[in-house]
């Protein structure tokens, strides 16, 4: 397991209030009084690609807000194969579904270099009791996570290989620029879509050849979506 790098630890609640993605994460609706209730350290962590935030079955110690990068949630099938069940991006909360459990129900692994804030479980539990605003945020995030998980399952595990790959390209489009789709290794794509590596590679090559997408980096991870309507056509 690749270790996390702690850039800085507990710099005070002012950092949370000034966070550039605060409106996207748990603390969006907190006021000054709410921040005064936070006493446990909130760590800022740099996460190299391939590092684990937590592993399936590990005891819940806290949750994570994702500031930069992408995190994959991985579970093992009954026959031991890894399956990516969801990809999280900036603004998402990692591990929130474990608040009702004592153990994490998946591996959380950085797909790209990432930056996260690690929030101790007791902070969230205390604030959810003392701050109705945070409790509301927790419920909204919980419902969002459930819907996202259902959407991923529906879009990524049914239909032809062409449709599955096309769905993934669409879902991984940048929120800043909808023409750009940021993918990852063919192995990870296969684990998410329940397809063989060769099948994923073939379908990506087909989309490039047909002019549906265009590769814009040397590694084959970043593509420009030229004809989004064709991505879902078999």
**Gyration radius of the chain over CA positions:** 19
- 127 Cβ neighbours under 8 A, 6+ residues apart: 30, 34, 37, 38, 134
Where helices occur in the chain by DSSP H, the ranges are 13-17, 32-36, 121-130, 132-156, 161-171, 186-193, 197-209
Phi and psi, residue 21, nearest 5°: -115, 25
pLDDT at 169: 92
For residue 166, the model assigns a pLDDT of 92
Top-level class of domain 5-132? mainly beta
By DSSP bridging, strand 107-110 and strand 71-76 are antiparallel
The fraction of the chain above a pLDDT of 70, given in percent, is 75
- Please give the average per-residue pLDDT across 136-141, as a whole number: 72
What span, in angstroms and rounded, lies between the C-alpha atoms of 44 and 209?
Answer: 43
Domain ranges of the chain: 5-132, 157-232
Query: Band of the pLDDT at 17, cuts 50, 70, 90?
Result: low
Under 8 Å between Cβ of 95 and 59: no
Is pLDDT above 90 for 27? no
Of these ranges, 10-24, 34-48, 83-97, 202-216, the one predicted with the greatest mean pLDDT is: 202-216
Q: According to the model, what pLDDT value does residue 84 have?
A: 84
CATH of 157-232, one of 1.10.3720.10, 3.60.15.10, 1.10.10.10, 3.40.190.10: 1.10.10.10
What's the average model confidence in pLDDT over 5-18? 45
For position 200, what pLDDT does the model report?
A: 94
pLDDT at 107: 94
DSSP H/E element including 109: strand 107-110
Six-digit token pair at 63?
Answer: 């949750």
At 164-200, the pLDDT tens digits run 999 899 988 887 788 999 888 898 888 888 889 999 9
Q: 29-80: per-residue pLDDT in tens?
A: 666 666 666 656 677 889 999 999 999 999 988 888 888 888 999 888 777 7
- Lowest average pLDDT, out of 4-8, 58-62, 118-122, 196-200, goes to 4-8
User: What's the gap between Cα 110 and its chain centre?
Assistant: 9
pLDDT (0 to 100) of residue 100: 76
Q: What is the pTM of this model?
A: 0.74
Mean pLDDT calculated for residue range 92-107: 83
């Amino acid at each position: 397991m690749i270790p996390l790098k702690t850039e800085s630890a507990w710099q005070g609640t002012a950092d949370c209030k000034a966070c550039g993605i605060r409106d996207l994460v748990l603390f969006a609706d907190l006021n000054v009084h709410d921040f005064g209730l936070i006493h446990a350290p909130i760590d800022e962590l740099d996460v190299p690609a391939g590092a684990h935030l937590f592993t399936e079955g590990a005891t819940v110690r806290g949750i994570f807000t994702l500031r930069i990068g992408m995190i994959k949630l991985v579970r093992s099938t009954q026959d031991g194969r890894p399956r990516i069940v969801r990809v999280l991006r900036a603004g998402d909360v990692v591990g929130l579904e474990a608040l009702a459990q004592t153990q994490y129900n998946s591996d959380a692994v950085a797909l790209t270099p990432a930056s996260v804030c690690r929030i101790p479980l007791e902070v969230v539990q205390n604030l959810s009791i003392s701050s109705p605003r945070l409790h509301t945020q927790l419920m909204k995030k919980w419902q969002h996570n459930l819907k996202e998980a259902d959407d991923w399952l529906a879009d990524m595990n049914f239909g032809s290989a062409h449709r599955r790959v096309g769905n993934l390209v669409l879902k991984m489009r940048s929120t800043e620029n909808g023409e750009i789709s940021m993918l990852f290794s063919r192995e990870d794509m296969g684990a998410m879509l329940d397809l063989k590596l060769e099948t994923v590679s073939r379908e990506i090559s087909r989309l490039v050849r047909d002019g549906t997408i265009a590769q814009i980096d040397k590694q084959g991870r970043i593509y420009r979506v030229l004809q989004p309507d064709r991505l879902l056509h078999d």
